[in-house]
Structure 1
Amino acid sequence: MQAVILAAGEGTRMRPLTYTKPKVMLPVANKPILQHVVENLIGAGVDEVILVVGYREERVREHLGEEFSGVRIRYVRQRKQLGTAHALLSAEHLLEDRFVMLNGDAIVFEDDLKNLLREEMAIAVREVENPQDFGVVTVEDGVVREIIEKPEVPKSNLINAGIYVFKKEIVDYLRRTPLSVRGEYEITDSITMAVQDGVEFKAVRIERWIDVGYPWDMLRANEILLSEIERDIRGEVEEGAVIKGNVVIGEGSVVMAGSYIVGPVIIGRNCRIGPNCYIRPYTSIGDNCHVGNAVEIKNSIIMSNTKIPHLNYIGDSVIGENCNFGAGTKIANLRLDEGEITVNVKGKPVNTGRKKFGAAVGDNVKTGINASINVGSLIGNDVFIGPGAVAAGFIQPHSRVF
């Protein structure tokens, strides 16, 4: 079985994290989102993967290569991101008679994929509480009758999860797909034309699906994936360190005396942890990181090569690669009134739906001693935050905050 994964987009809603890497390469549970997708496809029986790439594609190619876990990986460049139908059409010359297509930034699991792949032509659907934010699917007798994008008054709570089983005949509809009001060629319009011609798509309900739309969604995805890990300690744990629950510690890592780690937690390779730090549940720490004395990290994602060495607090945050936090730097994660946290995305306020969210910090950010970062902050890559400074809101890449 062949899989086509759409991985060409930047993911502008994920800024500032996507200024330096494509959205699909952002890590949850210490693996890029795209790797989770590929591994689950392989587990479901896929034996070839076509990746439609574009924005910062070199990060994808370097990570997955030409073969991954014994499965061939092939690449197609979508030079302009003109929609999902356009993306699939760019891979037309590689398509087999039947294949599965999905997005590289939403995680679906093996069991659901296996159920989907049993059908000749199918669309994955899922019941959600906020269908108005998605494409709503109308189903009759198990067959898809209609897909309406973001309707004001949804006819049901069933949404299109963006995972499809197609026969190659879909290509004829791709070629005829008109430009949408959003200025894109959309696969849902192609499907609508096929349905109107009598082509049947089975609606297959999926039980688990993680859609990562905004930086704070990475924390929810991280929590779900970490809840399934098992204890695996390959690094060194010094006497006097406490490891409780399901904790993964990579090769070459050292957990020094006085460290207190409560799982589920993943720590990558060649990290220095401690002495005398507290790592709380649902935290993932990448490779070559340093978490030092009197540091507390809670429910956060720390990417590789980042240093949080002394007297720091990081709560409910996503921290990029190669960051360095000066002594006493702290990130707030709770409003004083304990209300839900709103952040500034593309100049507009967006409610995270979370009462606890600290910050999303891009790559190569450095802070001075006693710097403070307020709740709901989005900090671009290569920002300097000076000693004693307070950072808040959206901070553009390469800024200086003093």
Structure 2
Amino acid sequence: MQTVVLAAGEGTRMRPLTASRPKPMLPVADRPLVAHTADAAVDAGASRLILVVGYGADAVRSYFGTEYRGVPVAFAVQDDQRGTADAVRAAATELDDGPFVVLNGDALYDTPSLERLYASGPAVGSFRVDDPSAYGVLVTDEAGEAGDVADEGEGPRVTGVIEKPADPPSDLINTGAYHFPGEAQAWLDVGESERGELELTDVLERTCGAFDVRAVAFERWLDVGRPWELLAANEWKLGELSTRIDGAVHDDAVLDGTVVVEDGARVRSGVVIEGPALVRENATVGPNAYVRGATVVGEGATVGHAVEVKNAVLMEDATVGHLSYVGDSVLGRDVNFGAGTKVANLRHDGADVRLTVKGERVSTGRRKFGVVVGDGTKTGINASLNAGVVLSEGARVAPGEIVTRDR
């Protein structure tokens, strides 16, 4: 099945992590986010991948090349990010006349659910959420049980979709994964929506009018649009790893649970790592460091003496100096935390930590969440960073400073 993967967006809700690279190329466990989408597609039956690129296109091209896991890869360029229908229209010259699947390159899908989407006729992936008002909600007839993922039969017939309704007709949302008939290629020239974008949901609406479109229930799915969802994505994928020790681990180190130490990585004496955890190529941990929770120590990153890192992502070449604590946080590339830097990850009132996304302070839905730090940021010794603080790319924190607001 020919498959279009949408990977052109900048990812403004993920800033500052996307200031210098596209959101689909952010790290999730041992590969970029979009590579997990591509892997699920290949496992589900993709015969060809067409990646739609735009912002940071060279990074995506360089990673995938012309073939990925034995599947041919082509690229289509969306010069201006005008919406999902426009993105698929950019890929149309690479499609043959047959049916095609469309997936978001910034979402995670479980393979069995995606296999059902590929094996179906015209269909859209569906998922049940507690609060559907923030999503596109599918309108269906009364036949079928889309919520029963154990049922391999058809789900309900989809008759339309309502974007972010104040009064949702159901809790069944659109995952942005579609199996379109070949005829839908002629319907990609849509008008602008109220948001000023060319929406693929308009193509879905027209397809529903001409075909029997079914809702395929997804057992597991994650839209990775904001920094705390990047943490959730890493928690998911780290949980799927198996222990592998290719690097150097000191005899005095203790590895408990699922831990991967890649070739060239070094775990020094006195270190305790409680998995799931991934220590990537050429990274160094310790001596006497404590790494726990779903943690990624990125390529070339350093966790110093007596440092505790919990449920966090340290990207390439990030350094957390000795006597520091980092919890439930995302640190960008080349970040350098001075000795004694401490991250708070819990509010005193016990409420969910809030974070600034596109200028608006919103709840992360997490009782514990630390900080988001852009590439190249440096802190001085004994700096303190409050829960929910965002430090922009290249920010500076003075020695002993207490940071309670974004910088």
TM-score range, shorter chain: over 0.9
| Equivalent pairs, count | 393
Match of 2:319 in 1: 307
Using the size of structure 1 for normalisation, the TM-score is 0.95
How well do the aligned residues superpose, as a CA RMSD in angstroms?
1.2
**Gapped runs of 5+ residues in structure 1?**
396-402
- Is 1:350 aligned to residue 362 of structure 2? yes
Residue 398 of structure 2: which of 381, 386, 389 is its match?
386
Q: Are the aligned partners of 2:354 and 2:388 in contact in 1 as well (CA < 8 Å)? A: yes
Q: Tell whether the 8 Å contact from 1:344 to 1:393 is kept in structure 2 after alignment.
A: no
Where does 1:71-220 land on structure 2 (aligned, <5 Å)?
71-96=71-96, 97-140=98-141, 141=143, 142-175=156-189, 177-196=190-209, 198-220=210-232
Q: CA deviation at 1:303?
A: 0.6
**CA positional deviation for 1:343:** 1.7
Distance in 1 between the 2:333 and 2:138 partners? 39
Aligned 8 A contact 1:324 1:365 in 2: yes
Cα distance in 1 for partners of 2:355, 2:267 equals 35
1:345 deviates by 2.0
1:321 aligned onto 2:333: yes
Counterpart of 1:46 in 2: which secondary structure? Answer: coil
8 Å CA contact 1:244, 1:261 repeated in 2:
yes
| Matched residue type, 2:230 | M
Instruction: Report the AA paired with residue 33 of structure 2.
Output: I
Per-residue CA shift, 1:150-187, capped at 9, x if unaligned? 11111111000100011221122212x21101001101
In structure 1, how many angstroms separate the alpha carbons of the residues matched to 2:236 and 2:334? 25
Distance in 2, matches of 1:271 and 1:330, equals 21
How many angstroms does 1:47 deviate by? 2.3
1:236 alignment partner in structure 2:
248
- The answer to whether the 8 Å contact 2:37/2:103 transfers is no
The 2-side partners of 1:178 and 1:269 are apart by: 48
**Runs of 4+ deviating beyond 3 Å:** none
The 2-side partners of 1:194 and 1:254 are apart by 54
Q: Is the 8 A contact 2:378 2:397 kept in 1?
A: yes
Counterparts of 2:266 and 2:363, CA distance in 1: 39
SS at match of 1:112: helix
* Cα drift, residue 394 of structure 1: 2.6
What is the CA deviation profile of residues 259-311 of structure 1, one whole-angstrom value per residue up to 9, with x for unaligned ones? 00111111101111110000012111111111110100000011111111311
- The one-letter code matched in structure 1 to 2:75 is Y
Any conservation in 2 of the 1:343–1:393 contact (CA below 8 Å)?
A: no
Partner of 1:60: 60
Q: Give the TM-score normalised by structure 2.
A: 0.94
Residue number in structure 2 paired with 1:398: none
Paired position in structure 2 for 1:283: 295
> What residue identity is the alignment partner of 1:39?
D
Shift of 1:199: 2.0
Q: Please identify, of 366-375 and 290-299, the stretch whose mean Cα deviation from structure 2 is larger.
A: 366-375
Conservation of the 8 A alpha-carbon contact between 2:321 and 2:340: no
- Contact conserved, 1:30 with 1:285, CA < 8 A, in 2? no
Given that 2:381 and 2:399 are in contact with CA atoms closer than 8 Å, whether structure 1 keeps it comes out as yes
What is the one-letter code of the residue matched to 2:162?
Answer: I
Distance 1:94 1:394 in 2: 44
